[in-house]
Amino acid sequence: MRIRPAAPGDLPALQDIERAAGAPFRDVGMAEIADDEPPSLGMLERYRRAGRCWVAADGTGRPAGYLLAEPVDGALHVEQVSVHPRAARRGVGRALLEHAAGRAREEG
- Give the DSSP per-residue string, 24-61: HHHHTT-HHHHTPPPPPHHHHHHHHHTT-EEEEE-TTS
Domain range for 41 is: 2-106
**pLDDT number for residue 5:** 97
**pLDDT number for residue 35:** 85
* pLDDT tens digits, one per residue of 16-64: 999 999 888 888 988 888 888 999 999 999 999 999 999 999 999 999 9
Radius of gyration (Cα) for the chain, nearest Å?
14
| CA dist list (Å): 39 to 44, 46, 78, 81 | 6, 11, 14, 12
**Number of structural domains found in the chain:** 1
- Contact call for residues 70 and 52 (beta carbons, < 8 A): yes
Query: Residue 92 above 90 pLDDT?
Result: yes
**pLDDT number for residue 26:** 87
Return the CATH number at 45.
3.40.630.30
**pLDDT number for residue 100:** 96
